[in-house]
Structure 1
Amino acid sequence: MKRIANQWKDYECCDAGDGEKLERWQNILLRRPDPQAVWKKTDHAGWDRIHAHYHRSSRGGGSWEFKQTVPETWTVSYKELTFKVSPTGFKHTGLFPEQAVNWDWMQAKIRKAKANGRPVRILNLFAYTGGATMACASAGADEVVHVDASKGMVQWAKENMALSHLENRTIRFIVDDVLKFVAREKRRGHTYQGILMDPPSYGRGPNGEIWKLEDQINELVNACLDILDDDALFLLVNSYTTGFSSIVLENILRTTVLRRHPSGYVFAGEVGLPITQDNMILPCGIYGAWSDEDDEV
């Protein structure tokens, strides 16, 4: 299955190919590496009008080459949400626009649950700058708990909360190792109707804890089962790990969540962005989801 984020106005993947993508963020054109874009790019005029180009280094990492004046930060909006974006030193801009399709899915589930008088508490793990956090809060979740090991990313998420005018919603920001936090929530007896996670391939917690996706994803999903409410709406896993199949996520969810919540449904597939130039899809990662309803987008 494919989930395509095709509702953007402030973002556009204009073209892609030869290992790069050409993107419009509001009125700024960026050229960034993309290992999935192995086909030949076109002669789209935007390639020659870019504001900035990220070059990878043979020694690892990379740097931006600025062709035109680019503000240090600016904002883009998605429907009722507004986010800060910035060309960071590690290629990213602080937002993964393909995830908007998952935001829409979660928002629809939250709004339906609230209309039916159900409580909705959401846990966002590896929450980064909080795109999903703001989407869930905006949809009316009673509480959203945002957990990330990086103080800088949590601060960025707080800025996005202010930009989206969500200061009056109940959002808790936690800087912590996700496994340790989930274990504490179990001891406290806290449960959530929705849990989402975007685990990295490799990472470190705030106290040097090591995370490796292939070694710990099963442990994390099983730990989350202990705090997934009996009246749960969803559990969503995203992954950008190269070579990690969506079928792996499907199998993990079938052997964990579906066994504990057999009346639900499991979906898995790719997340992508439409490429304007040739009406193609740029693959941007994979997802696996357990849902209380057969509501795949």
Structure 2
Amino acid sequence: MFAATDWKDYELLDTGDGDKLERWGNIILRRPDPQIIWPIAKENGDWRKADAHYHRSSSGGGQWEYKQQLPERWTIGYRDLSFHIKPTSFKHTGLFPEQAVNWGWMIDKIQGAGRKIRVLNLFGYTGGASVACAYAGAEVCHVDASKGVVTWAKENLQLSGLGDKPVRLITDDVFKFVQREQRRGSKYDAIIMDPPSYGRGPNGETWKLETNLYPFVESCMSIMTDKPLFMLINSYTTGISATVLKNVLSLSLGRTYGGTITCGEIGLPITASQLTLPCGILGRWEA
């Protein structure tokens, strides 16, 4: 288990009854999480301090119940990085705090490379990984199909004092973008991806992680340099295990380049119980 243990502005206070209680800066949010199948030990104390509670609807989706007026968005920091936080209509806040376990690793890999590194961040969302890589000194290309989250990523770069760094922010279908990069002969030293479980392309193409991940990894290998530094795959898909990611990386990058493969769960420490909440898996290949 890779646990993000060094946050100061974020804290997973408690969990139970399908909900997690989180502190984002000085604001406490209560949100659902399907992994939490155990009961709340005692619903008092911090639980009663929640500033907002996301209620999931039985028909899908849900909505926030605000106990008091909150700012439209606010800022939290992780080490030297800063991020905007905003409760969205689909329960997210714009940041996955467990991903901090990858940010530190990527910063160390890039700064220790001894050469200029080009990073491609696919399905880049609001740019947590892009901010970390730009901070480390890499040239970054950030791609996501949502214009709104690409704008959010730009704001996070500016918040962290990285607005003048060599970062390309592109709103595009990820699969089409990789195909165009192949035709253009573009090359990257490191590739990060957080692919969805299921999705549709601009022309109705369907994506299913179980079916399409391996060929997509192979496709991405064609735009890596002759001396690639790393590939990172994050997955939140239920049913895909860390061993599956290890097999995918072993049969693709491992077979071609050798190197080291590390896979496992990522999670967040729970203050009240001293347990760890699993939050997905990662697969790392490194030269």
Q: Shorter chain as normaliser: what TM range? A: over 0.9
Change (3 A) 1:208 1:77: farther
* Distance across 1 between alignment mates of 2:80 and 2:111: 14
| CA apart distance, 1:41 | 2.1
TM-score by length of 2: 0.97
Distance 2:205 2:167 in 1: 25
Q: Distance in 1 between matches of 2:93 and 2:218?
A: 32
TM-score norm. by structure 1 comes to 0.94
Unaligned runs of 5+ in 2: none
User: Whole-Å Cα distance in 2 between the matches of residues 206 and 52 of structure 1?
Assistant: 35
Could you tell me how far 1:205 is from its partner in structure 2?
Answer: 3.9
SS at match of 1:256: helix
1:128 matches 2:116: no
Q: 1:169 to 1:207 in 2, by over 3 A?
A: farther
Say if 1:149 and 1:205, in contact at 8 Å, map to a contact too.
no
**Contact 1:270–1:287 (CA under 8 A) maintained in structure 2:** yes
Q: Determine which of 223, 244, 248 is the counterpart of 2:244.
A: 248
Of residues 181, 185, 189, the one that matches 1:189 is 185
Deviation (angstroms), 1:207: 5.4
CA root-mean-square deviation: 1.2
The answer for the alignment partner of 2:171 in structure 1 is 175
Deviation readout 1:59-82 (Å, 9 max, x if unpaired)? 100000111221111111111111
Residue 269 (str. 1) matches residue 268 (str. 2):
no
1:139 aligns with 2:151: no
Q: 1:295 is matched with which residue?
A: none
Look up the equivalent residue of 1:95 and give its one-letter code: L
* Change over 3 Å in CA distance of 1:128–1:209 after alignment to 2: farther
Q: Which amino acid is the alignment partner of residue 132 of structure 1? A: A
Q: Percent identity?
A: 59
Give the distance between the partners of 1:243 and 1:41, measured in 2 at CA: 26
Distance 2:80 2:203 in 1: 36
Deviation at 1:206, TM superposition (A): 5.0
Q: Distance in 1 between matches of 2:23 and 2:153?
A: 22
User: How far off is 1:27 after superposition?
Assistant: 0.4
Question: What is the SS of the residue equivalent to 2:112?
Answer: helix
Letter matched to residue 42 of structure 1:
A
Cα pair 1:177 1:209 within 8 Å, conserved? no
Q: Distance in 2 between matches of 1:194 and 1:158?
A: 20
Taking the aligned partners of 2:200 and 2:81, their CA distance within structure 1 comes to 30
Contact 1:127-1:133 within 8 A present in 2 as well = yes
- Give, as a single letter, the amino acid of the residue that structure 1 aligns with 2:94: G
Q: Which residue of 1 aligns with 2:155?
A: 159
User: What is the aligned partner in structure 2 of residue 203 from structure 1?
Assistant: 199
Which one is further off, 61-70 or 202-211?
Answer: 202-211
Q: How does 1:1-297 map to 2 (within 5 A)?
A: 2-43=1-42, 45-113=45-113, 116=114, 118-141=115-138, 143-206=139-202, 208-262=204-258, 264-292=259-287
What secondary structure is seen at the aligned counterpart in 2 of 1:54?
strand
Aligned length: 286
CA contact (8 A) 1:150 1:206 kept: no
Say if 1:22 and 1:47, in contact at 8 Å, map to a contact too.
Answer: yes
Provide closer, same or farther for how the CA distance between residues 205 and 83 of structure 1 changes in structure 2, counting only shifts above 3 A. farther
SS at match of 1:144: strand
The aligned amino acid for 1:286 is I
CA distance in 1, matches of 2:124, 2:254: 24
Tell me which amino acid in the other structure corresponds to 1:176. D
Q: CA deviation at 1:209?
A: 4.3
Question: Amino acid of the residue matched to residue 280 of structure 1?
Answer: L
Distance across 1 between alignment mates of 2:149 and 2:202: 12
Q: Residues of 1 paired with 2:283 and 2:187: CA distance?
A: 21
1:211 CA displacement: 2.4
Q: Is the 1:176–1:205 contact (alpha carbons within 8 Å) kept by the matching residues of 2?
A: no
